[in-house]
Chains A and B, each alone.
Chain A
């Protein structure tokens, strides 16, 4: 399907399509920077690529045109994907596409921040993940990984001029056309910081609100408080060593990060996990999805003051965590998946235990639904709050529950089934108008669907080997290591050199708890990733936050923030 798309593009743009390639089933085209906007505009307008999932920068210091910028485009309606690549030399600007795709706004800022690729015409090209005082560009190959910088001065998001402008706009709004000018003076306005340390931010992120009374005139956001440059770390570790780092991305559903990361590397390796490993991944992923949704819904309800619901759902989450801890030794940082399989099999009695806990889940779920679903106050607080329409949501790069809340049944488990998701029966719940209420209810409904998937997967869990039979990928069993020289050597090579992932690139992705979680992996054939880019689902979602809350009130901003489920771990990486 995407092959045809590439052919059509070639017909349309002729020699301007400098190169085409297929990497592990993903089509890509290379264009010159000056034609980039035309190509993307064409793809958006004519080919239905309504979403720009991510913009990835890559640094190849040896090349003439050192930097490569990759645009990952997706059409949900037509279910195709395309990568558009642009090669630029150092200091050569790439034209911005932030007016075509709003998700490009932050994505381009990230490439600028970490690689120093300028985007001409970008409205607000500032650093985003690194501190504004940071010097250099961290993901360039010549930036030494051990070089830290001390940055301490906080950034003021609203200057006095901004406040004065906002006051002027507010004056125009409140003055009645008959002539009475009700002037809003800049000193009537107040800026307050929601975060980085605020009870409702649930992680270190910051939104500065410019307020006229309780009304939000304008909001600006700042992220990067827990940026640790996971992607740079990944380049310094073997493929297998990256696995525990993925736990820390979305720490509410670490198993999902593990599984999708393993899948991405397997895609690059050209292998597929065994059916048993796939089924186990589905089980733990769906359990993670359940607990992630529980965390989000609970926190959201607590934010709007319905504290009691927290325990009804968290008690269940706690008991699921107990099982996960029993399964892999820890609760948050699970590190359970392995490239080519899983670290170990399920324990005896896992199915029965989980089955029992999922029954408790139903109880807690129905308790909460009884308390909130028809509660007048709850409806008043959430219906019509933080509304985003379908087209806007796609444009901003929404995926996952937040996108489905707008009414679009787009789910990667449906659109691009992986790990055997096609075998399981489940619905894709959707909302209607994309407000806070719909986001909560979509998550509540997905919990039930995930429960059903877990039960189905447990029911038909296939027997057979857990790990693929490939000594270049999977650690040999301990018995072999102790008894045979080949075993020792395999173990030694895998541990010291890492898995020799063949040269190439691949984008592995799956449906994370918050939406599309993707890993863009490039291997140069050594044992370490050459480039590893995470596409965190909440990054594009949070980029729209300032727009969502504008015009609302402080309590709306809080309720909206909770319903978007922003996890600072994957937001900042």
Chain B
């Protein structure tokens, strides 16, 4: 990043402001491209992982090798689909909702530290910022469900809002012990604090952090609306939930955002608990930092998919029960416990 600033200021002769704008524009474009690519790769991966778990092949023909081009073909197909807005829908909201959902995921990507110094928005409140902007997805989903003027969509949206608002709490609570250890909300600082091999990763620092990791993981599945917590969609109950009425590219935006969010929460898990860009053992140091980070993220995504294709769906009231009566108390205990542990071990600053 510094190199980029230096390049634009010195070599290209821009002022400081000009360099900032240019770098921001480059990073934003880059993030968007990476995000779109992620969605493509992960849809393909999801289909292959699901197929693997379900003793079938998944896509095998498009693009010859393991049907790698299937996702591309799907995207092209979806671009060619008729864009339908129901006559009774609230047109403005209906159009705006998918954009808002996508925006929420995209904004959060800005604070992801891919490698030392390489982060689009190096914010001191990074983690806070990520949790804050990713909440915009909820508004988008509510908007989509309401604007569709469809009962299934409304039910999906109401469930989605209830679920995501609730699960934000354990999600954030699970991150608090990490922040306590680091003493910073800056995502780079959090990763740097985990330097020095796998035992310095926050997940293995103490038992409370270990539990926090699993709390975070479960809450993150709920945040991304994926099985077993896919309440807003529940295709067997609510037809297709909040996006029942969406077609073509607008539907693709929801789809894109689901996978962008999936990778986002996985990367946050990596940066909070799994050592960010640090290699687990010294021998793997030769890998570029960003690659290490992405590999860990993809493994988390795989874990997420594994869970999705293994477990049945919980019922909507059981989902709430799990959140408010199990996970939030557990997360609070972990926060207090981690604090006490820090005091006892003298790690507190």
Residues of A within 8 A of B316 (CB): 214, 553, 555
Among B151, B155, B315: residue with most chain A CB under 10 A: B315
The interface residues of chain B lying within 8 Å CB-to-CB of A190 are 151
Q: How many Å lie between the Cα of A371 and that of B53 in the bound state?
A: 12
List of A residues within 8 angstroms of B238 by Cβ: 554
Cβ 8 A contact of A555, one of B50, B53, B235, B315: B315
Q: Which residues of A contact B56 (CB under 8 A)?
A: 311
Q: Is the CB of A380 within 8 A of B309?
A: no
Which of B109-117, B226-234, B269-277 touches A?
B226-234
Q: Which residue of A lies closest to B235 (CB)?
A: A199
A381-B309 contact in complex given A199-B236, A200-B236, A305-B227, C-beta closer than 8 Å: no
Instruction: Scan residues 181-197 of chain A and give those whose CB is less than 8 A from a CB of chain B.
Output: 190, 192
Residues of B within 8 A of A371 (CB): 310
Contacts of B310 in A (CB 8 A): 308, 371
- B345 interface residue per 8 A CB criterion: no
- A200→B53 CA distance, assembly (Å): 23
> CA separation between A200 and B313, bound complex, in Å?
14
Residue in A192, A199, A310, A377 whose beta carbon sits within 8 Å of that of B228 in the complex = A377
CB neighbours of A378 from chain B (8 A): 312
List B residues 52-68 near A (Cβ within 8 Å).
53-56
Cα distance, A199 to B70, chains bound together (Å): 25
Q: Write out the residue numbers on chain B whose beta carbons fall within 8 Å of the beta carbon of A200.
A: 236-237
Q: Is the CB of A558 within 8 A of B311?
A: no
Q: With an 8 A cutoff between CB atoms, is B314 at the interface?
A: yes
Interface of chain B, helix or strand or loop or mixed?
loop
Instruction: Answer yes or no: A448 CB below 8 A from chain B CBs.
Output: no
- Give the distance in Å from the alpha carbon of A276 to the alpha carbon of B235 in the complex: 47
- Per the bound structure, the CA–CA distance linking A375 and B310 in Å amounts to 10
A380 and B312 CA atoms in complex are apart in Å by: 10
User: Are A305 and B55 interface neighbours, CB within 8 A?
Assistant: no
Is A377 touching B236 in the complex (CB atoms < 8 A)? no
B54 touches A192 (CB 8 A): no
Binary per-residue interface labels of chain A (304-335) against chain B in the complex, 1 for a CB within 8 Å, 0 otherwise: 11111011100100000000000000000000
A303 contacts across to B, CB distance below 8 A: 236-237
Q: Is the CB of B311 within 8 A of A555?
A: no
Q: Does A39 contact B (CB under 8 A)?
A: no
Please tell me if A445 contacts chain B, counting CB pairs below 8 Å.
Answer: no
Interchain nearest-CB distance for B44 vs A (Å): 18
B312 contacts A311, CB within 8 Å? no
**How far, in whole Å, are A307 and B53 apart by their CA atoms in the complex?**
10
B residues within 8 A CB of A556?
315
Nearest to B154 among chain A residues (CB) is: A190
Q: Which of B54, B230, B237, B315 contacts A311 (CB 8 A)?
A: B54
Cβ of B82 within 8 Å of any chain A Cβ, yes or no, is no
B56, B239, B311 pick with most chain A CB within 10 angstroms = B311
User: What's the least CB distance linking A27 to chain B, in Å?
Assistant: 46
A555–B151 alpha-carbon span in the complex (Å): 15
Which residues 211-260 of B have a CB within 8 angstroms of A? 227-228, 230, 234-239
Complex alpha-carbon distance, A18 and B235, angstroms: 57
* Cβ A306 vs Cβ B311 within 8 A: yes
- A558, B236: Cβ atoms under 8 Å? yes
B152: Cβ under 8 A from any A Cβ: yes
Is A165 an interface residue when CB atoms closer than 8 A count as contact? Answer: no
Q: Tally chain A residues at the interface, Cβ within 8 Å.
A: 30
In the bound complex, residues from chain A placing their C-beta under 8 Å from that of B312 are 301, 304-306, 372, 375, 377-378, 381
* Complex: A509 Cα to B239 Cα, angstroms: 38
B237 lies within 8 A of A310 (CB): no
Q: Complex formed: what's the CA distance from A109 to B238 in Å?
A: 31
Residue of B nearest to A562 (CB): B236
Bound-complex Cα distance A315 to B54 (A): 10
Q: Which residues of B contact A308 (CB under 8 A)?
A: 50, 53-54, 309-310
> Do B155 and A554 have beta carbons less than 8 Å apart?
yes
Would B236 and A375 count as touching, CB distance under 8 A?
A: no
Q: Tell me whether A132 is interfacial, beta carbon within 8 Å.
A: no
Interface membership of B317, Cβ < 8 A: yes
A205: shortest Cβ distance to chain B, in Å? 15
Residues of chain B with a CB closer than 8 A to A553's CB: 315-317
In the assembled complex, which residues on chain A have CB atoms less than 8 Å from the CB atom of B314? 377, 380-381
Chain B positions within 8 Å of A199 at CB level: 235-236, 239
Are B152 and A311 touching (Cβ within 8 A)? no
Known contacts A214-B317, A311-B56, A553-B315: A305-B230 contact under CB 8 Å: yes
Q: Which residues of B contact A555 (CB under 8 A)?
A: 234, 237, 313, 315-316
Interface string of B25-56 (1 = CB under 8 A from A): 00000000000000000000000001001111
User: Quick one: which of A377, A381, A555 has the most chain B CB within 10 A?
Assistant: A555
Kindly supply a per-residue 1/0 record for chain A positions 375-388, scoring 1 wherever the CB is within 8 Å of any chain B CB and 0 otherwise.
10110110000000
In A462-517, the 8 Å CB interface with B consists of none
* A169 interface contact, C-beta 8 A: no
Quote the shortest CB–CB distance from B327 to chain A (angstroms): 14
Known: A302-B236, A305-B236, A310-B54. A192 touches B152 (CB 8 A): yes
A414 at the interface (CB under 8 A from B): no
Closest residue of chain A to B316 (Cβ to Cβ) is A214
List residues of chain A with CB within 8 A of the CB of B239. 198-199
| Chain A 539-566 near chain B by CB (<8 Å), digits 1 or 0 | 0000000000000011110100000000
Residue of A nearest to B152 (CB): A192
Distance A306 CA – B314 CA, assembled complex (angstroms) = 10
Among A312, A377, A378, the most chain B Cβ lie within 10 Å of the Cβ of A377
The interface bits of chain A over 254-273 (1 if a CB of B lies within 8 angstroms of the residue's CB, else 0) are 00000000000000000000
Cβ–Cβ < 8 Å partners of B313 in chain A: 304-306, 377, 381, 555
A311-B55 contact, Cβ under 8 Å, with A190-B151, A302-B236? yes
Q: With A305-B227, A311-B56 given, is the CB distance from A380 to B152 under 8 Å?
A: no
- In the complex, which residues of chain A have a beta carbon less than 8 angstroms from the beta carbon of B230? 305
Contact of B55 among A312, A372, A558 (CB under 8 A): A312
Nearest A residue to B238 via CB reads: A554
Query: Distance in Å from the Cβ of A374 to the closest Cβ of chain B?
Result: 12
Q: Could you jot down 26 A-B contacts, CB within 8 Å?
A: A192-B151, A214-B316, A301-B312, A302-B236, A303-B237, A304-B312, A304-B313, A305-B230, A305-B234, A305-B311, A305-B313, A306-B313, A307-B54, A312-B54, A372-B312, A375-B311, A377-B314, A377-B318, A381-B312, A381-B313, A381-B315, A553-B316, A553-B317, A554-B155, A555-B237, A555-B313
Q: A303-B237, A308-B310, A558-B237 are in contact. List 18 more A-B contacts (CB 8 A).
A: A199-B235, A214-B316, A303-B236, A305-B311, A305-B312, A307-B227, A307-B309, A308-B50, A315-B55, A372-B312, A375-B311, A377-B311, A380-B314, A381-B313, A381-B314, A554-B237, A555-B315, A555-B316
By a beta-carbon cutoff of 8 Å, the part of chain A in contact with chain B is 190, 192, 198-200, 214, 301-308, 310-312, 315, 371-372, 375, 377-378, 380-381, 553-556, 558
Instruction: State the 8 A-B residue pairs at the shortest beta-carbon distance, nearest first.
Output: A305-B313, A306-B312, A311-B54, A303-B236, A555-B315, A305-B312, A200-B236, A304-B312
